[in-house]
């Protein structure tokens, strides 16, 4: 799996030893508030990290899970993932999550932009989509900053802790 380097971040394959840093954000109720998973137990986080380590070795790759490491202190502050949804149509979806301490500093925009660039330029995808909760205005701003365009609202799309939640759909399409 290719590593992606930005000015402040390294997007790299997960390592088994990443689980404590991943657990710090994956167990935070505020961080996972809009996610369809979590807050994680230690066992769930370890399982996720081990699954991500294994997925990075699969070929052909249909899922590209990345740990987001901050270069300044070499800490994992988040994750981003690209999932192929159609090889024939060169289409994928992406998502990300970041520790609360990393919010508001441009890390999500930097990482998501790097992943979108990789998807379009290196993987030659035609379309990359992403969704976010309508109440997650920060995530919607990130998606728009990296060039994704709002396409609509998906009604009752995720069941999150017993409540059906809508999603806003964004996409970047190659011209």
Give the CATH number for residue 77. Answer: 3.40.630.30
Residue 56's pLDDT band, with cuts at 50, 70 and 90, is confident
89 inside domain: yes
Structure confidence at residue 59 (pLDDT): 60
How many domains, in total, are found in the chain? 1
Residue 60's pLDDT band, with cuts at 50, 70 and 90, is low
CA 154 to chain CA centroid, Å, is 19
Structure confidence at residue 13 (pLDDT): 95
Structure confidence at residue 35 (pLDDT): 96
Tokens of 96: 């990300």
Averaged pLDDT, 69-94: 97
Structure confidence at residue 175 (pLDDT): 82
150 inside domain: no
The residue segments making up the domain with residue 56 are: 4-127
What backbone phi and psi angles, to 5 degrees, belong to 85? -105, -20
Structure confidence at residue 49 (pLDDT): 96
Averaged pLDDT, 108-124: 97
91 inside domain: yes
121 inside domain: yes
153 inside domain: no
Of residues 94 and 61, more confidence is placed in 94
46 inside domain: yes
β-pairing verdict for 4-5 and 75-86? unpaired
pLDDT at 99 over 80: yes
What 48-57 contacts at long range (C-beta under 8 Å, 24+ apart), as own/partner pairs, is: 48/22, 49/14, 49/15, 49/16, 49/18, 49/19, 49/22, 50/16, 52/13, 52/14, 52/79, 53/13, 53/14, 53/15, 53/16, 56/1, 56/13, 56/14
42 inside domain: yes
Cis preceding-peptide flag for 174 (omega within 30 of 0): no
Q: Give percent of the chain with pLDDT exceeding 90.
A: 93
pLDDT at 17 over 90: yes
100 inside domain: yes
């Amino acid at each position: 799996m290719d590593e992606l380097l930005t000015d402040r971040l390294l997007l790299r394959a997960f390592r088994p030893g990443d689980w404590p840093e991943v657990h710090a954000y994956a167990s935070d109720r505020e961080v996972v508030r809009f996610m369809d998973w979590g807050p994680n137990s230690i066992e769930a986080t370890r399982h996720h990290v081990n699954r991500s380590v294994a997925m990075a070795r699969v070929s052909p790759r249909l899922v590209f899970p990345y740990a987001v490491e901050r270069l300044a202190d070499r800490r994992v502050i988040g994750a981003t993932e690209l999932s192929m949804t159609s090889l024939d149509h060169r289409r994928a979806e992406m998502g990300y999550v970041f520790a609360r301490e990393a919010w508001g500093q441009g890390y999500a925009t930097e990482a998501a932009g790097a992943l979108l660039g990789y998807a379009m330029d290196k993987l030659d995808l035609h379309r990359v989509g992403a969704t976010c909760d309508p109440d997650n205005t920060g995530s919607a701003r990130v998606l728009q900053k990296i060039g994704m365009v709002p396409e609509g609202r998906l009604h009752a799309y995720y069941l999150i802790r017993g409540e059906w939640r809508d999603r806003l759909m964004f996409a970047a399409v190659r011209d």
